[in-house]
């Protein structure tokens, strides 16, 4: 577990405000932003994101369906599309990708906690203290 993974999971679980996450993300260098997006994509896959999470993720992220990350995540296999969203290079698309991937992680992980972990689990990220 890294500090970054803890922060991302706190954001996804609503333990930290999104505004704090966006400010943190915006202050990272380009390479670090790319690493964060790749990490978020992997977290989404690990949380078992499904294709149906895309539309709700777009809505929660406040994106228009025509924004590049929204278009990408809506087409094809979700695991492949998450990687494409994480790989967006233009600076102006990265913040949108960050918001979208966090929204999808929130949706997928909430479902996983409710269905698979409701009786308890060994996932450290499901035992984060309130900030």
24 falls within a domain: yes
- How many Å apart are CA 34 and CA 119, to the nearest integer? 35
- Global pTM reads 0.89
CB 12 within 8 A of CB 40: no
User: Residue 130: inside a domain, yes or no?
Assistant: no
- The per-residue pLDDT for range 62-95, each reduced to its tens digit, is 999 999 999 999 998 999 999 999 999 898 899 9
Percent of the chain beyond pLDDT 70?
Answer: 88
Could you list the residue range(s) of the whole structural domain that residue 77 is in? 3-110
Other C-beta atoms within 10 Å of 93: how many?
A: 16
Please indicate, yes or no, if residue 60 is contained in any of the structural domains.
Answer: yes
Q: Residue 44, SS3? A: helix
* Inter-CA distances, 87 with 17, 42, 94, 98, 130, Å: 25, 12, 9, 11, 31
Residue 127 located in a structural domain: no
Mean pLDDT of the chain: 89
Is 7 contained in some domain?
yes
Residue 45 located in a structural domain:
yes
For residue 73, being part of any structural domain is answered with yes
Q: Which of 101, 123, 103, 102 is nearest to 112 (CA)?
A: 123
Please report whether residue 116 resides in a domain.
Answer: no
Among all chains, which residue has been given the structure tokens 């990265």? 94
Total number of domains constituting the chain: 1
């Amino acid at each position: 577990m890294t500090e970054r993974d803890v922060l991302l999971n706190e954001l996804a679980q609503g333990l930290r405000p999104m505004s704090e996450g966006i400010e943190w993300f915006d202050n990272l260098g380009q390479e670090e932003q790319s690493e964060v997006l790749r990490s978020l994509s992997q977290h989404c896959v690990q949380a078992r994101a499904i294709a149906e999470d895309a539309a709700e993720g777009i809505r929660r992220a406040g994106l228009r369906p025509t924004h590049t990350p929204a278009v990408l995540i809506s087409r094809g296999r979700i695991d492949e599309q998450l990687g494409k969203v994480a790989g967006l290079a233009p600076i102006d698309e990265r913040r949108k990708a960050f918001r979208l991937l966090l929204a999808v992680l929130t949706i997928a992980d909430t479902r996983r906690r409710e269905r698979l972990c409701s009786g308890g689990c060994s996932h450290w990220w499901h035992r984060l203290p309130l900030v």
